[in-house]
Structure formats: structure tokens, C-alpha cells
């Protein structure tokens, strides 16, 4: 593991020379969080979080070889869009017109298509106040990008707060109606990147319903109550215990329906991840209606992590705040359509602490 954060005094964000994953920015506050963001993919590459003894460790998975950020590790820490999660067959209808998107996994559109936002070089500028420090990242997605209609201008802020928060705020405007659903796809291990798997971490998800999916992870039917199922995570459970229950299939890659949700900017708690061994705790708060929980069941060791450890099954967990999968084809779900004159807004805050 990386035992300590990169040198950082707590001043304004520092821009480092470019790499294969774009410019590298580091920022944070002394004694608190330090983050590293790369501009290719608007990517969270590292996050150093103190444990109960004040010792920081990097809790975000990322490949040692930057070239893997365009291959097996393409979504690690990246901003994914225009549409996070899956759109069935890469096809949807909007205002009477059918659109065909680029497709990958099983012929579906995943995380925006074959050349999604995770592959793009974003423009960046620094932000620094007494309470928050970080970067603003900007991208223009042109009309027809991966098959999506309309020119879309996107801004993502990634900020560290003095109170040990990491905030992601998203904004977008368009000149034609288009689906938009953005999130960050970081994988976390609160024992430290490369330490071991996350099976002994405790997970809580504040959801009364989940979205059933078929063998290709496409939703079907109505959202179902979690009561009496493997998807009831409303009390803290070891991840190993949770995904061993009948119906979990040995792991999660599912949308949890958070509630109540609306169209306001109110942050609501979605989940808590806790590592008893280190005391680190991450509380997830969001304005989004859904949380995709993925316990990295498909990791096979092909990605060598920053620490030199191959990432295998359960090396990390992704907690992706977002709208629901395949919503453009599910009229009963909250709308994901952004229209001219409107502004897409979304915010997620990860709040960290450590206990004895």
C-alpha cells in the first residue's frame, strides 16, 4: 500500500506534469483528507484517509500501469456518462424518435458507450477557499456523441472539505433533449488499497427497495421490497455475510432505491461503509434516487494495483450514486431527460471519520 499521502501542505491545489491519464492534481487539508485527481476521465486516482490513530492510507483502487485506465481498469475512479449504468440494447426513444447508442457488454450500452466520458481529457481549474479545496473539471460532449442527441456541456467539481468530506457536484446543460445520468465510479477499500479484500467491512444501505435484474443485469418488472431478501442491508452487515445469503448470487451489482427522493438538492444518507480493523467509516450522502452497489465480483487479478497487488474478487466496493439503470426505457422511473433551458444538477458527499 501507499503508506502516506503525496507531500501536501494544505495550500491551493497543486497541478503536476501530465501523464498518460492527463494532468495530475493533489489537494487536501493537513491532518485530514488528501485527494489525487487525473483529468483523463475526471478520475479520482487516490484518497488518503486517516485511521483511528491518525495514520493515513490510500483507500481508492487504481492501476499501477496508467495504460490500464484505458483497458481493464477504464472505469476505476472515473466520471462515467453520458449515462451511468446500462441502457438495454443501447436503444431508447425520446419525443417520438428512436436513438441507437454504441454498445459493449452483451450488446448493451454501459456507462455512456464505447468512448464514454471516462476516456476523455477534461479541462481543469483549481478551487480553494478556507473550507474547501479541489478542482473544477469541464467537458463538452458534442451532438451525436456515442449516439446521444444534443450538445452537452458538463462541469464536475471534486472538492475536499476541512471536515473530512469529499464532495462531487455535477452540472450540465444541453441544446436538445437528451438523457443524462452522471456518477463517479471509484472502488473503495477502507483498510487501504491493496490491503486485502473488503469482505470484513460492514455495509449499510438505506433502501427499502431494490431493482431486480436479469442475467445480463438489465432491470425487469417493478422495484421490489428488500424485506426478507438478500438485499436487505438496512442494518450493518459484514459484506461476506451479506452476499452469502440466498439470492445474492455471491455478490452485488444491483441498484438500491433510496427514499424518499425528489427533485430538490437535499442530501440524504444512502449508505455507510465501515472498516472495524482501522476504524475508518465512510458515510455516503446524495441527492440521487439510486445507489448501485458493486462488490467487484468480476475482478480476476488482471489489474495490478498501485501497491503492486493484483485486484481479485472483492478487492474493493463501488457505491455509485445515480438514477436507475435503463430508465430511458422505464417510464415509471424518475425521469433522466434534460431539456434545453434546464440544468442537470447532482451532488454526492462522502463523509469520513474514524472510531476507536
Residues annotated as part of the active site? 185, 320
C-alpha 163/C-alpha 350 separation (Å) is 11
Question: Which of 156, 127, 125 minimizes the C-alpha distance to 139?
Answer: 156
Three-class secondary structure assignment of 261-281: CCCCCCCEEEEEEECCCCCEE
Cβ neighbors of 331 (< 8 A, separation 6 or more) are none
Burial 107-126 (b: 16+ CB within 10 A, else e): ebbbbbbeebbbebebebee
Task: Report CA 148 to chain centroid distance, whole Å.
Answer: 21
Cβ pair 13, 23 in contact under 8 A: no
* Inter-residue contact 239 to 190 (CB < 8 Å): no
Distance CA 132, CA 161 (A): 5
Angle at 261 between CA 171 and CA 219, to 5 degrees: 90
3-state secondary structure of 118: helix
Q: What is the CA radius of gyration of the chain?
A: 19
Count of Cβ atoms closer than 10 Å to residue 268 Cβ: 17
Strands across the sheet with 22-28, in order? 14-19, 22-28, 34-38, 43-50, 56-58
CB atoms within 10 A of CB 133: 24
Amino acid at each position: 500500500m501507499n503508506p502516506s499521502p503525496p507531500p501536501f501542505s494544505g495550500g491551493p491545489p497543486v497541478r503536476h506534469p501530465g501523464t498518460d491519464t492527463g494532468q495530475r492534481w493533489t489537494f487536501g487539508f493537513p491532518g485530514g483528507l488528501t485527494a489525487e485527481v487525473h483529468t483523463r476521465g475526471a478520475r479520482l486516482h487516490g484518497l488518503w484517509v486517516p485511521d483511528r490513530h491518525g495514520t493515513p492510507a490510500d483507500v481508492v483502487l487504481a492501476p499501477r500501469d496508467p495504460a490500464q485506465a484505458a483497458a481493464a481498469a477504464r472505469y476505476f475512479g472515473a466520471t462515467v456518462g453520458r449515462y451511468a449504468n446500462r441502457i438495454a440494447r443501447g436503444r431508447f426513444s425520446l419525443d417520438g424518435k428512436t436513438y441507437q447508442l454504441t454498445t459493449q457488454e452483451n450488446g448493451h450500452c454501459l456507462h455512456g458507450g464505447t468512448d464514454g466520458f471516462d476516456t476523455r481529457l477534461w479541462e481543469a481549474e483549481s478551487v480553494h477557499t478556507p473550507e474547501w479545496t479541489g478542482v473544477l473539471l469541464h467537458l463538452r460532449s458534442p451532438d451525436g456523441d456515442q449516439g446521444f442527441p444534443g450538445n452537452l456541456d458538463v462541469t464536475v467539481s471534486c472538492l475536499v472539505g476541512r471536515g473530512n468530506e469529499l464532495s462531487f457536484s455535477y452540472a450540465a446543460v444541453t441544446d436538445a433533449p437528451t438523457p443524462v445520468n452522471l456518477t463517479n465510479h471509484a472502488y473503495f477499500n477502507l483498510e487501504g488499497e491493496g490491503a486485502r479484500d473488503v469482505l470484513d467491512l460492514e455495509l449499510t444501505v438505506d433502501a427499502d427497495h431494490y431493482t431486480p435484474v436479469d442475467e445480463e443485469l438489465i432491470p425487469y418488472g417493478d422495484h421490489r421490497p428488500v424485506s426478507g431478501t438478500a438485499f436487505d442491508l438496512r442494518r450493518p452487515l459484514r459484506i461476506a455475510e451479506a452476499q452469502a445469503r440466498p439470492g445474492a448470487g455471491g455478490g452485488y451489482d444491483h441498484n438500491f432505491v433510496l427514499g424518499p427522493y425528489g427533485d430538490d438538492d437535499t442530501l440524504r444518507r444512502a449508505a455507510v461503509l465501515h472498516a472495524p480493523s482501522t476504524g475508518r467509516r465512510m458515510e455516503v450522502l446524495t441527492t440521487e434516487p439510486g445507489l448501485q452497489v458493486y462488490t467487484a465480483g468480476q475482478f480476476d487479478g488482471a489489474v495490478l494495483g498501485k501497491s503492486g497487488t493484483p485486484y481479485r474478487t472483492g478487492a474493493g466496493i463501488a457505491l455509485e450514486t445515480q438514477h436507475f439503470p435503463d430508465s430511458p426505457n422505464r417510464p415509471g422511473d424518475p425521469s433522466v431527460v434534460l431539456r434545453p433551458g434546464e440544468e442537470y444538477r447532482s451532488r454526492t458527499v462522502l463523509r469520513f471519520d474514524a472510531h476507536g
